[in-house]
Structure 1
Amino acid sequence: MLIGVPKEIKNHEYRVGMTPAAVREAVAHGHRVLVQRQAGTGSGFADETYTAAGAALADTAAEIFATADMIVKVKEPQPVECKMLRDGQVLFTYLHLAPDPEQARLLQDSGCTAIAYETVTDARGGLPLLAPMSEVAGRMAVQVGAVSLQKANGGLGMLLGGVPGVAPARVTVIGGGVVGTNATRIAAGLGADVTVLDRSIDRLRYLDDAFGPAIKTRYATLDATEELVFAADLVIGAVLIPGAAAPKLIRKEQLRQMKTGAVIVDVAIDQGGCFETSRATTHADPTYVVDGIVHYCVANMPGAVSRTSTLALGNATLPFTLALADKGWKQAMAEDRHLLNGLNIHAGKITYAAVAEALGTTATSPSSALSG
């Protein structure tokens, strides 16, 4: 199989779909890999490291899309990339289709087979290809939240951990999954006053055991959510429904009851965001203010720490990339129901139920795609 790795073109996206180490593995399996020149430079991988691993280099993305059997990326394809995809081609990347009807339509029009990192599952019910970036984003959320709290950036002018004689900032983390757990780890480590909200008692027990008295946990009723969000200096939105649009947990009218200069970091923005006032931003212009509340809603947060992110993502995606290349997508999915859960679009049809529901249409079962 010819695997293509184009350079990412989303605003301030520096990650790359395959590391040189991953290329070497694919070549060792008998595959050819075509990498666009300078695709890895943002993550610290020079073109020479790819050729040393056995890849060939392409001057343009168009060459890669025109010739590769499978495209391996990081972020969802931009419209110009969607239009280069073709019938029968496999696309393996993050898609986040629920809040993005235009991308869904373009992928359907292309006739490609689109497999989303974020809906591939594992035997424990986890999301193994989303987890590493959720870990990065959760930890980053506290860093960017702390910077956004600085007065010069529109925030309250608070130091997250306080100082002797001055109380630390209050941090409310909504959602105790991978993002929330990692945000909690960093916020608590910096000395903030941290409370985590979740609707799973088992998850709250886990967090209580993991962090002990360094944090507080609350069951996420409407009352508790309002109480903690209104009192918070920093709110981190970390809610995920796999493949589906994020629920809107805080409405615009509720912002007026928050502290002026408080900060919202919406890590769920890839899935539409969990605050009604959230809209996707970029690393070039990451924040905006609504009713005195600073919003940080960058849709590709891990791209800012591209070296760490690319290495972490590559570790997780490589076994699946090799399975797709070695066996072909149909056989690989027939043998692995968890990989089958990653199938979002095939031959013009949406094959993931939560995506179809969010887009107001009907899903075709993945098994139908396999038998077609």
Structure 2
Amino acid sequence: MSERIAVEAAAPYEVVVGSGVIGELTDVVGTDVRRVAVIHSVAVRERALGVRSVLGRDQLEVHLVEVPDGERAKSADVLEYCWRVLGESGFTRSDVVVGLGGGSTTDLAGFVAATWLRGVRFVNLPTTVLGMVDAAVGGKTGINTASGKNLVGAFHEPAAVLCDLDVLQTLPRPELRSGLAEVVKCGFIADANILELIENAGAQSVLDPTSPILAELVTKGIAVKARTVAEDLKETGGAEGGIGREALNYGHTLGHAIEREEAYGIRHGEAISVGMVFVAELAHRHDLIDADLLQRHRDVLASLSLPTTWAGAFSPLLAAMRMDKKTRGDQLRFVVLEDLGVPRILAGPEEQVLRDCFAALAGGLR
């Protein structure tokens, strides 16, 4: 069985979630295509060969473009390499890019598609929980620079996203756990049923890649993302002055700074987990949420063995946060909660308050 989630954006498409949905790839690619470039990470090399077999009909050229694992793929050098392969292969506007891998790979593949010939079609085949719930859906594409994460990119919606849950059975447990941080995020900003499902089911069921609980959590997380981006594709603000797509950055301002400080040696979900506890502490100190909701952040994340503290120094993180995409001029802006499922922007908090929040988070380190 599969579930189809419509993303009603400017160019509507479907996210298909279920077992064996990779079989739909040929139909999604279409019949008027001559070349397909499958941009894939090293970790899914064998799966890329399987994708080539699925697409292996007569007269269709399938080019496998292997890129580094993780955030190392999101660089200008790797982007240029992908462009070179497309150029040497004679890639035209009627051809298709497929992104196969985790969130970093789909970010890169989408940006390759957005920039080649000013935009060609692409399809995402995410192979991680993080990729399925977050990166592969919504049309945000991009690469990193020395100044920060995702500072260069474009909005370019996929033609389809196929989330084949079978691939999660081969996913390392730390990667599975990391991706669930984005699911938890969706619970706090939009769908409290996600939190209740995790709390009631327990970590053993949630972290079982064959569990219907995990399948339900992934589907619910995707549904939150789909609704949010349909309302506010380009992050310009939601209906009636609401926060819109910026809500999806809950925990990401500090989280991205930690990733950069760790030279991307920490998993994205782990950094975002710490970032969510930080902004919960920030909201509590501004009397927006109560102590129970603050503690619920720690409890839900800790139940999945996700980190809720970080022992590094704060000053480098503060400098990195000033490069965050939500910053306006010199004013830092954070996505916080004013109640469960009610996100808002907190602009310009005092630096000492930020340091105090971090001290509480990091056990007294500044």
TM, length-normalised to structure 2:
0.31
Q: Which has the larger radius of gyration?
A: 1
**Larger helix share, 1 or 2:** 2
- Using CA pairs under 8 Å that are at least 6 residues apart, name the structure with larger relative contact order, 1 or 2: 1
